[in-house]
Amino acid sequence: MTNYEELEKGPVVLTFYRGSWCPFCNRQLKAYQEILPDIQELVAQLLAISPQTPDNTLSMQEKNEFDFQVLSDPRGIVSAKYNVLFDVPDYLKDAYEKIDLDLESFNGKVNWILPVLATFMIDETGEIRFKHKSKL
């Protein structure tokens, strides 16, 4: 992370998800909500980041009543720094379009980029102690 403000509070579990339209991502974030007390017991905090617009991100957080920060990265700057950003391949674009998934309305941009599902455990010095990235 380039902004160490959150790390001053203690370790961070940083997770990247695709958006509120992704059922797998939704289930993963709900699972994080369930174990949030365990994370907080370790004096750590959970941050979730997606390429959604701030409005879509806030709506998701409120709808699901998450007790952790859900952040917006619509230009993919943070995702790119963690090397989790990918261009959506044509076969996925076609599949998304067939189910009327409009990434532009969720992410506020025309380009088709998304983060892979990934989680990083970062200590208060900024060192990544653990990472897990999905393939797509």
Q: Tell me the pLDDT tens digit for each residue of 39-77.
A: 999 999 999 999 998 888 888 888 889 999 999 998 889
- Report the alpha-carbon distance of residue 92 to residue 103 in Å, rounded: 12
- Report the alpha-carbon distance of residue 73 to residue 85 in Å, rounded: 11
**Global pTM?**
0.88
Q: What confidence tens digit (pLDDT) does each residue in 83-127 have?
A: 999 988 999 888 988 998 888 888 887 678 899 999 999 999 999
Residues 6+ apart with CB under 8 A from 130: 119, 120, 121
How would you label 13-32 residue by residue, b for 16+ Cβ within 10 Å and e otherwise? bbbbbbbbbbeebbebbeeb
120 bridge partner residues? 14, 131
CATH number of 10-124: 3.40.30.10
- Report the alpha-carbon distance of residue 52 to residue 63 in Å, rounded: 15
Structure tokens at 109: 């941009």
Domain boundaries, the chain: 10-124
